[in-house]
Amino acid sequence: MESEIGNKTDSGATVTKGKDLVEDIKIGYIGGGSRGWAYTLINDLAQCKTITGEVVLYDRVFESAKRNERFGNWVQDREDAVGDWEYTAVEDRATALEGADFVVLSTQDPPPETMAHELDIPAKYGIYQSVGDTVGPGGTVRAMRTIPVYRDIAGAIREHCPEAWVINYTNPMTICVRTLYEEYPDINAVGCCHEVFHTQEHLAKLVGKYRDTDQPSRKEINVNVKGINHFTWIDEMSWRGENLHPLLETHLKEEIRDRSFEPGSLDEDSYFVDNELVTYELYERFGIFPAAGDRHLAEFVPWFLTADDAKDVQQWGIRLTPSEYRVNRQEDALTKFHGPMNGEEEFEFFESGEELVDIIHALLGFEDLKTNLNMPNCGQVSNLPENAVVETNALFTDDCVMPLTSGELPAQVHNIVSTHVVNQETLIKAGFSGDVDLAFQAFLNDPLVTISMTDARAMFNELMTAVRPYLEDHWNLDNASVVH
C-alpha cells in the first residue's frame, strides 16, 4: 500500500449499526441515459438487499434518462426485486449531483458519429484501429474531445458534492480520470474497467482444463496488476497458492501455436472475437502476461494492425470494429429496455460480473474488496511517473481506497508503456491550455501513426475539421500552426 484517498466526514446516508443496512443513499448518474452501464446497474441494485436509496439520472439527452427512469422503476416493481431503489430523471445536472454520496460517470458525449470519423479518416490513410477509443489517432482525438467535458464534470462535483465517491466507466479511461484529478485534486475518484476480469476468467479456464478440476471462479485467481488501462500486465498469478505460469506455457504450446487465420476468415464472426493470439505473442516476446484483450492490446503497438488491407489484421484472430456498428449499436441496444416493458420478451435478473455494487458496499463499510482500478500513481507502479493514472490492484474499505504496490514494469515493457504515458500526460497539458500544436505532438508519437509527416498533418487536419464543433470552444484551433 502506498497511499489512500477518502475518509469523508459528511454523508446523507443513514447507516444502521452493524452494517446490516444503509438507507437513503443518493447516486448521481452522469450519462444516466446510458444503454449499457445503466442497464447493468439497475439489474445489480434490484438484487441488493443491504443498500437502499435513489438513483438520479442526468443526461444531455433527457429522454434517454427518462427511459432509464421508467425501466429502473419497472424493474423495481417486479416481485423478484429485493432491492429498494427509486429512479428519477432530471434535466439539471446540479440536481443529480447535489448531496450525492456516489457519482457514476458513463457518458457518450458527443454523439457516436464523431467516433465514426475517428475510425474512418485514419483508415483512409491506411491506419486501422480495432477499437479506436483509447489510443491511436482516434483515441487521441477522442481524448481531445473528452478533456473539456470532464473538466466541466469535475468542477460540478467540486461545487455540488465535493466529498462524493466518483466511479468512472467512460473511455478513454486514463484521460478521464487524469482530467478529474487535474481539475479537482481533492476528488475521490477511481476508474473501473473489467479487462482484468476477463484475464482472470481465462486463467480460471486453464485451471479447469489442465488441472482436472472444475473451473474455479475468476475471484479465486490472484493476479498482480500493473500498467495503464487497456495496456495492463500481470507478472504474478496464482490459484490456491499454485503459480499459474506453467499453465500459460502449456496452453501456448498445445493450443495457441496451432491457431492461424487467413484474411477474411473471420468475416462472419463477432466484431469482438478474440482468439488470444496478440496476448500470447506479447507474452512470448516479453515474458509478462498482458491483461486487456487482443482488440485493445493491438492498438498500443505498431505490429498487429499494420497491413496493406483491413482484412489482413484477421491473421491475428481479431476483427476491426466498423464505424457503422459504432453508430447503429446505440439504437440496437434499446430493445433490451423496451422489449420486457412491452411484454415482447422476458426479463430475468442476471449475474453481471460487474463490481460497482461491491465497490459501494466496501466503501460503506460492509466488506473489503480487492480489485483492479485506475488512479493517479503515488508509487504503486514504481517506474512510471508520479500522478500519471495507472491501473493496479487496490483495496476498497470503509470510506477509503488504498492502491496496492505492484512493483516496476520490466524494462522493455516499460519502454512501450511509457510512450503512452508521456502522450497521455502531454494531452492533459495540451487540453488544459488549449494548445493544439502540443496535442499534435502526442498524435505524432502514437505508435500507430506510421505514415509520413505530410500525411500525418493532413489526417490530423481532417480529423480536426470533422469534430471541430466539439473542440472550438476549448481548443485554440485558429492559432495552431498545424491546422490550416
Q: Hey, which residues are catalytic here?
A: 194
Neighbours of 27 (CB within 10 A): 26
- φ, ψ for residue 271 (rounded to 5)? -65, -20
- φ/ψ of 122, rounded to 5, equals -60, -35
- Residue 53 is given by DSSP the state E
Placement of cell 484517498 in the chain:
5
Question: How far apart are the C-alpha atoms of 157 and 136, rounded to whole Å?
Answer: 30
Specify whether the CB–CB gap between 171 and 194 falls below 8 A. Answer: no
* C-alpha separations of 54 from 69, 85, 101, 124, 435 in Å: 11, 5, 10, 47, 41
**451 vs 119: CA distance, rounded Å:** 16
362 in Cβ contact with 396 (< 8 Å): yes
Rounded CA separation 177/199 (Å) = 23
Read off the amino acid at residue 67.
Answer: R
DSSP element (H, E) containing 395: strand 389-397
Phi, psi of 471 (to 5 degrees): -115, -30
What interhelical angle do 136-160 and 113-124 show, nearest 10?
A: 150
| Cα-to-chain-centroid distance, residue 225 | 15
Cβ atoms of residues 460 and 134 within 8 Å: no
Contact 463, 137 (CB under 8 A): yes
All three cell numbers of 276, joined, read 488470444
Helix, strand, or coil here: 378?
coil
